[in-house]
Structure 1
Amino acid sequence: MSDTDATARFTVLAREVALPLRRYVARRVDPASVDDVVSDVFLVLWRRLSDVPAEDPLPWTYAVARGCLANRRRSAARHLRLVDRLARSRTKSPSPGEGPGEHADVHAALAGLRELDREIVMLWAWEGLPPKEIAAVTGLTANAVSIRLHRAKKELARRIGKTGPIGGQIPDEERRPR
């Protein structure tokens, strides 16, 4: 299908489904989110234009909207978990012997890393993210994250003066919920 044909088909499709789609979405999210979800649906429709049935495309469009709404709910849930975790970490009382100067050697060693390597280490150690998810955050490949993390841990160990690897496994109770 040529670009002109695709544009014409999408224009007709958009006119046909826009109003019912908007109503469908408006009944399921807050008014401020309607435009965002509708635009997400239209993006999927454009990308998968050849998959949209020519006859009665509205049910297919609703299925796409349902998926976009589910993605939005999952994103909101992750956001709330993060806010909750941050709030708990700020109100959590320090462990015995843990004060502001505690682990100064680790903080100094972290400060000596390149910014991206420091972010990767902190996402791994403090947020409990595996390399694949760190890759999504940083825009690197999972392999590049693994390599950078390995090198950064070795550099931290060298800076702190330890011979063994830094970190290891994060206890399950401290890992980010999946």
Structure 2
Amino acid sequence: MAIETDAEFSAMYRAHYADVLAFARRRTVQADDVVGETFLAAWRRRRDLPPDPRPWLFRTARNLMLNVDRSARRQRAVAVRVAEQDQGDGYEPMLTAEARMDLVKAWRSLSTQDQELLALHAWEGLSDKEAATVLGCTRAAFSMRLSRAKRRLAKHVGPVSDLPIAFANLNGAS
């Protein structure tokens, strides 16, 4: 169905928007975002759309919802790892349940970007240069972002150097 003009895309959009929105609303609370991303993908692939784009639109919306769900599960898993990390690493006594809850609450208060920065550094053990490569930025940019993320975390739980377990190496040089 190679769409060549804005008018053709607009006609396809009007013909399928309500169906894609209903499809997404039955499956997620983020339906508007999913529909927007679906039609953005359709615009980008407008010359490659099949003659009947409706199934393609539904598949694209479904894949977007699966990606959002996977991302949310990863974020919950990271928060659980923060709460359940039980390596002593010489720290005695182990974190109390209350301290773990505080750490989980602090972790959840961070943006996903801050969580990613801290996780790359603390859990994955990447150097600043390696983590910068993962994120597609310079080492200096990563170091600055990491420093800011540490400060934001410290606002919620105290100095990062006082945190045991997975965050023990946050103050280490990279």
**Bucket of the pairwise TM-score, normalised by the shorter protein:** 0.5 to 0.7
- TM-superposed CA distance for 1:95, in Å, is 4.7
Q: Percent identity?
A: 30
How far apart are residue 59 of structure 1 and its match? 0.9
1:68-102 deviations in Å (ceiling 9; x for gaps): 1111111111111122123335xx58554558xxx
| SS in structure 2 of the partner of residue 128 of structure 1 | coil
Q: Which amino acid aligns with 2:136?
A: G
Matched residue, 1:44: 41
TM-superposed CA distance for 1:127, in Å, is 2.1
1:80 aligns with 2:79: no
Q: Secondary structure of the residue that 1:79 maps to in structure 2?
A: helix
How many angstroms does 1:50 deviate by? Answer: 0.9
Look up the match of 1:127.
123
1:62 alignment partner in structure 2: 58
- Which has the higher Rg, Structure 1 or Structure 2? 1
Alignment-mate amino acid for residue 43 of structure 2: W
Which 5+ residue runs of structure 2 have no aligned equivalent? 94-115, 144-174
Deviation at 1:56, TM superposition (A): 2.1
Kept in 2, the 8 Å contact 1:22–1:34? The answer is yes
Q: How does 1:107-146 map to 2 (within 5 A)?
A: 123-128=119-124, 134-135=131-132, 138-140=135-137
Q: What residue identity is the alignment partner of 1:12?
A: A
- TM-score, normalization: structure 2? 0.53
**How many corresponding residue pairs?**
116
**TM score, norm. by length of structure 1:** 0.52
**Which runs of no fewer than 5 residues in structure 1 stay unpaired?**
100-119, 150-178
Contact 2:121/2:131, CA 8 A, preserved across alignment: no
